[in-house]
Amino acid sequence: MPGTPMKHFIQYCRETGCPFLEQEPLSRHTSFRIGGPAALFLQPTETCQLPGLIEAVRASGLPWTVMGNGSNILASDEGFPGVVIQIGSKFASIALEGETSVRCQAGASLTALSRFAAEHSLTGLEFACGIPGAVGGAVFMNAGAYGGEISQRLVSVVQAVIPKEGKPFLETIPAQNLEFSYRHSKYQNPQSAAVIAETVFCLEKGEKEASLARMEELLKLRREKQPLEFPSAGSAFKRPAGSYASLLIDQCGLKGLRVGDAQISEKHAGFIVNLGNASCREVLELVSQVQKIVWEKAGFCLEPEFRLLAPAAI
């Protein structure tokens, strides 16, 4: 059969009804607003599509990767030469499951999930209302804020398992098997070969107005303290043992440090912001400078919290 692997895979997407975009700028899909074009950008809508998509893209030999809504991603200025599967806004259904449980696809935003819970008089996810990410990404990194972590309310995950041999398949795994710790889950382990598809959260009966008021209070705190007026990937560095990244960066006099249009926020030292036309290269250079100075002056090694978009090693 004539044609390139990419053409064959595009034909598969058409036949299976999976929406896609060709040469789609990743800057449109990352909160940093940075990144060149993905050769093929997939936006699946149904959980049942994932095993087949993954099997087909592996068989094609094309480089590929998976991303959420891009709130914790730094994409290359050159873009991505293969297939990006986005578990994002088209993969974002949320529904009640019983009286106090909520099931949602991994592309649902944490804001949408927390508001859905509050509107149904369920409490326990108010802390997540302003975290700028999707549910899948939140599970991946055990996202948290204001004393809450996603692992505290998660019951189970439906994942697309990618075996070394054989076809990918869907599997439900309980939350206690996900090796949660601070900003970590088993999905970050190199040997993990699975894509988060759906999640189930167990909440408690509460008062709608009280939950909405608490969420507005937390959102106000974010607006006051964080540089939400500029594109960023949220907190740029993980919290090191024994201190806080923002405190160390501030104490080292690095607020406002710039490389091109990438800057350590003058409002909150834990953020790297895009002042307009920052590039991936500029962000990485700024990260390198901050790491070097903080290590030399304070003796702490800072690790970036965002991740680079790279081909899957599975």
Q: Point out the residues that are catalytic.
A: 183, 235, 305
Nearest to 312 by CA among 83, 78, 79, 95: 83
69 contacts 88 by C-beta, under 8 angstroms? yes
Count Cβ neighbours within 10 Å for each residue of 21-49 and write b for 16 or more, e otherwise: beebbbbebbbbbbbbbbbbbbbbeebeb
Tally Cβ neighbours within 10 Å of residue 263: 23
* CA 39 vs CA 6, 10, 77, 212, 213: distances in Å: 9, 11, 13, 41, 44
The Cα–Cα gap between 189 and 115 comes to 31
